[in-house]
């Protein structure tokens, strides 16, 4: 990655990036390792990112329609019953209100694991952090001459396009992200969710749906129809959708809504996923892909068979920020058995989703730590593109890459990770060197 820049030049670049940090920093003072260069992606990976926003927007529209059809009796009732599990009646009523019927998230951010073949989608976030940080990283590395995806102003322009005025209302639980939003919008447009009183101004919702019942001032002053984005539709924020996508009885619905090509494209990116549901099967049936008759059999899987990820689907304080995630191969047999049992018991109030675990490819990136010396991190990359949807058209504003040490199974922001924007690999340079999984 660093073949065309001298060691001294790389050190100067990292020092420049560090010198540009705002006085108050980002993420409530949390730090990360500073990359000497933006993370280069080759043409094949960039091509996927260019197409992915449209496919995920179509998928989100289809999810919204499927939920409504289930409520109306045009699709099976168990779909909306599963997606509504554990949610208070007030929030379910809001999410079904006529005023919100066509409302969809206007920011789409998938979390993608970088592999030799392309990407694997592990999460789909419509209330994402990192917007301000990615905007700052883009303009900073562009100033160094890197060919950053989205350019120096793509993130800021994208956010201003979908939210030109109003207040970013951020909860205490999400306070770590307040500095980046104040940098992006200015302190005067960022408000505390716990004390906010809606006055008709547009609201950018920077709190999870499970916080809603605790935000009394906002609950009493806001009505459906007053502008708020993303809309209060907690059913759209469930990880269960990645499992519903793979259900054979729904395949024709997905094909009709997102097209044959769109369906095949997403099948290459979304890993096979299951709804952990203890409902009994016919005696001759097995769970597809696992070849077990009932979920309790999964508790006895060997470590090799436990290359699986169990996640709380949503509507929980544990369902974001890499919490509520259990990787089977990282646990003892007894711990895994307990997780499976808890998942089955919680199905009707806090559903779980199961996915194949994908480690991702190992790549290298040069960075400077607090000691200002250069190092090389061999790690696995989480690639997070930000799509801003305006007039039904998603636009790619920028891409945040989080390179985590290769021994980490959960790829998430941490002090020993390297954070940088993604760039188009220079024809004269090279893309990130992939060593295999």
pLDDT beneath 50, residues of the chain: 1-3, 434, 436-437
CB 328 within 8 A of CB 309: yes
Distance CA 353, CA 393 (A): 30
At residue 321, the pLDDT reads 59
The two structure tokens encoding residue 52: 């992915």
At residue 318, the pLDDT reads 64
At residue 434, the pLDDT reads 47
Selection from 370, 373, 412 nearest residue 31 by Cα: 370
CATH class of 272-356: alpha beta
Distance CA 135, CA 294 (A): 47
- Within a 13 Å sphere around the CA of 401, how many CA atoms are in the beta-carbon half? 28
Kindly report the pTM of this predicted structure: 0.94
At residue 315, the pLDDT reads 85
Q: Please give the order of strands across the beta sheet that includes 308-312.
A: 273-275, 352-356, 308-312, 325-327
Backbone angles phi, psi at 15, to 5 degrees: -65, -40
Distance CA 279, CA 56 (A): 30
Domains of the chain, residue spans: 7-240+360-424, 272-356
CA 78 → CA 81, 118, 377, distances in Å?
Answer: 5, 34, 47
At residue 4, the pLDDT reads 56
Angle at 282 between CA 278 and CA 286, to 5 degrees: 70
Identify the helix (H) or strand (E) that includes residue 48.
Answer: helix 43-72
The percent of the chain in helix, strand and coil, each rounded to the nearest 5, is 40, 25, 40
Q: Which residues lie closer than 8 Å to 427 by C-beta, 6 or more apart?
A: none
Distance CA 138, CA 141 (A): 5
Residue matched to tokens 């694997």: 120
CA 67 → CA 48, 63, 77, 212, 232, distances in Å?
Answer: 28, 6, 9, 21, 14
Beta strands 418-424; 393-405: pairing state: antiparallel
CA 437 → CA 39, 114, 201, distances in Å?
Answer: 18, 10, 48
CB 99 within 8 A of CB 215: no
């Amino acid at each position: 990655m660093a073949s065309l820049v001298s060691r001294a030049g790389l050190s100067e670049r990292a020092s420049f990036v560090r010198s540009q940090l705002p006085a108050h920093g980002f993420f409530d003072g949390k730090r990360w390792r500073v990359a000497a260069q933006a993370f280069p992606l080759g043409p094949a990976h960039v091509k996927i990112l260019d197409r992915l926003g449209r496919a995920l927007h179509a998928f989100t529209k289809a999810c919204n329609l499927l939920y409504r059809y289930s409520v109306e009796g045009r699709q099976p009732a168990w779909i909306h019953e599963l997606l509504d599990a554990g949610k208070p009646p007030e929030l379910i009523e809001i999410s079904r209100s006529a005023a919100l019927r066509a409302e969809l998230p206007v920011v789409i951010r998938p979390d993608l694991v970088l592999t030799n073949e392309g990407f694997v989608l592990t999460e789909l976030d419509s209330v994402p952090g990192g917007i301000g940080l990615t905007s700052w990283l883009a303009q900073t590395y562009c100033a160094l001459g890197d060919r950053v995806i989205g350019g120096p102003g793509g993130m800021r322009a994208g956010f201003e396009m979908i939210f030109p005025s109003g207040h970013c209302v951020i909860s205490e639980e999400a306070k770590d992200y307040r500095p980046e939003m104040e940098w992006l919008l200015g302190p005067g447009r960022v408000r505390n969710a716990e004390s906010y009183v809606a006055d008709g101004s547009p609201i950018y919702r920077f709190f999870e749906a499970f916080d809603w019942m605790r935000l009394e001032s906002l609950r009493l002053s806001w009505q459906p129809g007053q502008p708020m984005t993303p809309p209060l539709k907690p059913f759209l924020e469930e990880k269960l959708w990645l499992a519903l996508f793979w259900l054979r009885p729904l395949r024709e619905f997905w094909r009709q809504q997102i097209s044959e090509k769109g369906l095949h494209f997403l099948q290459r990116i979304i890993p096979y996923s299951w709804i952990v549901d203890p409902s009994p099967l016919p005696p001759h049936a097995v769970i597809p892909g696992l070849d077990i008759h009932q979920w309790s059999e999964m508790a006895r899987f060997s470590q090799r068979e436990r290359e699986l990820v169990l996640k709380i689907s949503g509507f929980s304080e544990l369902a974001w920020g890499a919490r509520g995630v259990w990787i089977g191969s990282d646990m003892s047999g007894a711990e895994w058995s307990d997780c499976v049992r808890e998942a089955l018991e919680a199905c009707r109030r806090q559903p779980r989703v199961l996915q194949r675990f994908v480690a991702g490819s190992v790549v290298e990136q040069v960075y400077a730590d607090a000691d200002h010396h250069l190092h090389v991190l061999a790690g696995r990359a989480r690639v997070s593109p930000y799509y801003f949807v305006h007039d039904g058209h998603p636009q790619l504003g920028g891409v945040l890459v989080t390179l985590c040490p290769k021994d980490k199974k959960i790829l998430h922001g941490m002090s020993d990770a390297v954070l940088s924007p993604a760039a188009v690999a220079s024809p004269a340079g090279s893309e990130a060197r992939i060593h295999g999984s």
